Chain A
Amino acid sequence: MILPGGFSYGDYLRTGAIARFSPVMGAIERFARRGGLVLGICNGFQILCEAGLLPGALVRNTGLRFICRQVHVRVENVETPFTAAAEAGQVLRMPIAHAEGNYFCDADTLAELERNAQIVFRYVTAEGRITAVANPNGSLSNIAGICGRGRNVLGLMPHPERAAEEILGSADGAVVLRSMIASLARAGAVSA
């Protein structure tokens, strides 16, 4: 299942706040509980947090403005179905396009995310260093994407589907999609 980016319900009230009550969310929750792969991109990530399928919240960028630009993220954990085809520490160039991409959670949650290796992508420089300048929106600990304890649900703010063709600026994002296809193939769900 892929929850794509967009402006579901016009971001009325709060991004993802109304979408999480959409009838299809029940089916998605059951699917996730059964171990199905669920990828939330940008607004999709926001909806997963609102629905409680992922911890934490996405709040307004520190610069208070919408930002559309290419950024770099580092793969922090290759033991997920979304990153198995990548190298540990690999730097991927992908675009962001959001006004509420600032990941926030309380201290206990952050400790748990780190303990359980749930932080999957962090914003970094092109050389792979975690710095404040590399962080486009003020996210806690430069977090760009996280997964659930079961590893089958992942949310990230950057758009891998917009970084799947060189001609559009980068093909680095394709590794996320390729990882998912390979994982599904191994499980016999599709032929790779």
Chain B
Amino acid sequence: MLETEVRVTIELAAEHGLTAEEYARVLTILGREPNLTELGVFSVMWSEHCSYKSSRAHLRRLPTRGPQVVQGPGENAGVVDIGDGLVATFKLESHNHPSYVEPFQGAATGVGGILRDIFTMGARPIAVLDSLRFGPIAPEVGTDAATAARNRRLLDGVVRGIAFYGNCFGVPTVGGEVGFEAGYSGNPLVNVLALGIAKKEDLFFARASGEGNPVLYVGAKTGRDGIHGASLLASAEFNEASEEKRPNVQVGDPFLEKLLLEACLEAMQTGAIVAIQDMGAAGLTSSSCEMASRGGVGIDMNLDLVPQRESGMSAYDMLLSESQERMLLVAERGREDEVLAVFAKWGLDAVEIGRVTGDGLLRVRHRGQVVAEIPAQALADEAPVYQRSIGAPAPRDEARVDVSLAPAGADLTPNFLRVLASPAVASKRWIFEQYDYMVRTNTFEGPGAGDAAVLRVKPTRRALALAVDGNGRWARLDPRMGAKAAVAEAARNVACSGARPWAATNCLNFGNPEKPEVMWQFSEAIDGIAEACVALEIPITGGNVSFYNDTLGRSIDPTPVLGVLGVLEDAANALGMAFRAEGDIVILLDGLGENAATATPAGDAACFASSEYSKTIHGVVGGLPPAVDLAAEKRLIRLLEAAAREQAIASAHDVSDGGLAIALAECCTASEDFSVEVRIDATRPAEHVCFGERGARVVVSCDPGRVARLRALAAQYGVRAEEIGRVVRGAFRVACGEAIVVNAEIESVREAWGGALKKLIESETGGT
């Protein structure tokens, strides 16, 4: 054993989050006992957050290949070819646990971390999206006033944190989603997606090589913030003592990260950098052993040389610190001065702290001693891979729930307005106006403008579209179907902007993987994602798994979140959701094609209880999610791309949360002052028709002169195109056959939808 003052025992290992078996494995790898520093290093690298030990066995089932994939999972971010010699790199990541403990910094550093993952690849970040979940922000059954108030504070802190980091760094936050369910009260979810662009030849990887090459530390100084952020915060459940975890939360400086971005991109241009990786979870430890392991080499470094923000830090502190805005890179021996000069120009610390060796070991020195010596591969790649037990739950009662319906011909307007004003559905303007979504002047469609964010790619004619989607409620009721639905919805959203869905990233948010039911949910979700991605030809290029989202033994709803990237050949064809002209024809496109007319009414009833309407109006969540028909989704997606290319439609918006009536309302509220009058199916119960959430449907509007072309295209793609009404001004009307079931002045629709979130968040009592 190498010398430290503390004797390592199996109990100390347990305190570090290592099981007895894992500790035994450490002993075998080292051939001796580890010292405290080495124990710390193993505990972070083998934590769930860093090693993926519970998820790896299942993640292998995800489809990761395709002709457009330049780099799949395994590097800091996935990379796809987007034409014109350019590549896009993008990834979703979670920062859930830190955001519960310290919402502002937790969310801010979540943004910082994913941005670094992008620019460490040599790409300039051009957009950020976020997918958030909180508990209810107004008291309801099961959520008292104090909990609702805390949820409002979390929402407020998280949004301010994302805004603080993204705005100052100078990347537009252009979209996202937010959901509110009781299961997230103790475990908010903060998933952040970042997208970057690079020339294909400018891509960088994190594979150390070249014995004797210098290892350089660049960026912010190292302090004690965030120690054990990965192993003890992100890889464990919350309990009453969780407040004490605040020192485990990292602290961000977006301005410094902006300097770091510019310095890194400039230094990469010198040609003197061999490999580079950001210091994220487990900072100096993970960046060094991962780069070494990927390259089949070792790294020998001296912590005395690390720029330090605090005095008296031990080797343990420095190796485990998660201080932000730092990178580790390997330069070509003899050319390191070129690299150091660039960082000096940008006012950043840059120091040679070690070198690449041929012995495959991570060797760390401090104060003249070797304080850690561990095979890099063992740390980075030989964490145990667990086949945790999987146990499907007993069939639930809620699988057989029926929602009582209003009598035929009843006025559904009050219910319609209530659903519109529910936090999940209402306008998110209160949130997105805090994000600078215009910076860099490339945002064609920002938050609220369409189903996907659309950014132009100068100097080409191209644009990229991005959407993030997940539905925890549906994934709880049926994990496989809920996951399939998330993929389908994100792809459909991208298609609604006129883009072709091209590749995907995912963030899988689940509870404690040591519970067989959670592992069953995970495995089912993986299968659902795989099935959908294969059917829709969208490879997964990378992503993130966040386990242990539990508090006091209760897990969150399984929440697989999907981010889909799309490509628009001509940015001029980008579509939004807003109606554009009075008199335009409103058409409902249905991927089920002519089968749409005979789709099972029994199916509608079985899944109505899983809808937003059922939850908001009846307080009931149960049944099953609507069945996802991937072939239907694919036909619809292809049709939308074609229709956009030919400029056959004026707007497109998919039917999702809240159903058709809500989708129609959103097409109106996104416009300056248009409204709509439609007549829809009278053969089924009005509430199913107006508020049912079956997928593979999109509401489009068309100039009357282009309807014939759209009909022809729809027939060609096997999609049903049903003319349901017109864009008007004044009244918002939905008729089922002869009965007018929703009838409101457009002003009251705008008011219900527009002001709800602000009223709820900024009130003391949450609106009761």
Contact = CB atoms under 8 A, between A and B. Distances in A.
Contacts of B254: 7, 10
Interface string A73-86: 00000000000000
Contacts of B433: 65-69
A68 B438 contact: yes
User: Most chain-A Cβ atoms within 10 A of its Cβ — which of B256, B434, B571?
Assistant: B434
Contacts of B443: 168
Interface string A1-29: 00000110111100000000000000000
B444 A167 contact: yes
Contacts of A68: 432-438
Nearest to A12: B255
A102 to B, nearest CB: 16
Contacts of A95: 438
Contacts of B432: 68
A97 interface: yes
Interface size class of B (residues with CB under 8 A): 20 to 34
A19 to B, nearest CB: 12
A162 interface: yes
Nearest to A169: B438
Interface string B430-460: 0011111111010110000000000000000
B444 A10 contact: no
A58 to B, nearest CB: 16
Contacts of B441: 161-162, 165, 168
Contact of B438 (A9, A65, A97): A97
Contact of A10 (B160, B255, B435): B255
Contact of A7 (B255, B437, B571): B255
A10 B434 contact: no
A13 B629 CA distance: 56
B124 to A, nearest CB: 16
Contacts of B163: 66
A143 to B, nearest CB: 21
Given A7-B255, A10-B256, A168-B443, A66 B167 contact: yes
Contacts of B258: 7
Which of A69, A97, A159 has the most chain B CB atoms closer than 10 A to its own CB? Answer: A97
Contacts of B436: 66, 68, 97
Contacts of A11: 168, 255
Contact of B434 (A66, A162, A168): A66
Interface in A26-69: 65-69
A150 B447 CA distance: 41
B251 to A, nearest CB: 13
Contacts of B139: none
Contacts of A10: 168, 253-256
A68 B253 CA distance: 21
B210 interface: no
B170 interface: yes
Contacts of A65: 160, 433-434
A159 B170 CA distance: 15
A69 to B, nearest CB: 5
Q: For chain A, which range describes its interface: under 10, 10 to 19, 20 to 34, or 35 or more residues? A: 10 to 19
Interface string A137-180: 00000000000000000000001011001011000000000000
A124 to B, nearest CB: 17
Nearest to A65: B434
A11 B164 CA distance: 11
Interface in B154-187: 160, 163, 167-168, 170
A97 B444 contact: no
A188 B152 CA distance: 58
A10 B436 CA distance: 15
Contacts of B167: 7, 66, 97
Given A7-B167, A10-B254, A97 B439 contact: yes
Contacts of A165: 441
A12 B255 CA distance: 9
Given A12-B255, A66-B163, A68-B433, A6 B438 contact: no
A12 B160 CA distance: 17
Contact of A168 (B168, B170, B444): B444
B170 A6 contact: yes
Q: Tell which of B258, B433, B436 has the most Cβ of chain A within 10 Å.
A: B436
Nearest to A70: B438
Nearest to B259: A10
Contacts of A167: 444, 571
A161 B441 CA distance: 9
A69 B446 CA distance: 11
Contacts of B434: 65-68
A95 B443 CA distance: 13
A42 B441 CA distance: 15
A161 to B, nearest CB: 7
A119 B434 CA distance: 27
A38 B676 CA distance: 49
A9 B437 CA distance: 21
A95 B256 CA distance: 26
Of A7, A68, A161, A167, chain B has the most CB atoms within 10 Å of the CB of A68
> Of residues A10, A11, A159, A162, which shows the largest number of chain B Cβ atoms within 10 Å of its Cβ?
A10
Nearest to A67: B433
Contacts of B256: 10
Interface string A97-133: 1000000000000000000000000000000000000
A11 B254 CA distance: 10
Contacts of A12: 255
A67 B434 CA distance: 5
Contacts of A66: 163, 167, 433-436
Contacts of B437: 68
Nearest to B437: A68
A97 to B, nearest CB: 4
Nearest to A161: B441
A168 B444 CA distance: 6
A162 to B, nearest CB: 5
Interface string B410-441: 00000000000000000000001111111101
A69 B439 CA distance: 12
B430 to A, nearest CB: 9
B161 to A, nearest CB: 12
Nearest to B440: A162
Interface string B561-593: 000000000010000000000000000000000
Given A9-B255, A66-B167, A162-B441, 18 more contacts: A6-B170, A7-B167, A7-B255, A10-B253, A11-B168, A65-B434, A67-B433, A67-B434, A68-B437, A68-B438, A97-B436, A97-B439, A161-B441, A162-B438, A165-B441, A167-B571, A168-B441, A168-B443
14 contacts: A6-B170, A7-B170, A7-B254, A9-B255, A10-B256, A12-B255, A65-B434, A66-B433, A67-B434, A68-B432, A95-B438, A97-B438, A162-B438, A168-B441
Interface of A: 6-7, 9-12, 65-69, 95, 97, 159, 161-162, 165, 167-168
Interface of B: 160, 163, 167-168, 170, 253-256, 258, 432-439, 441, 443-444, 571
**Leading 8 A-B pairs by shortest Cβ distance:** A10-B255, A7-B168, A97-B436, A66-B434, A68-B436, A66-B163, A162-B438, A65-B434
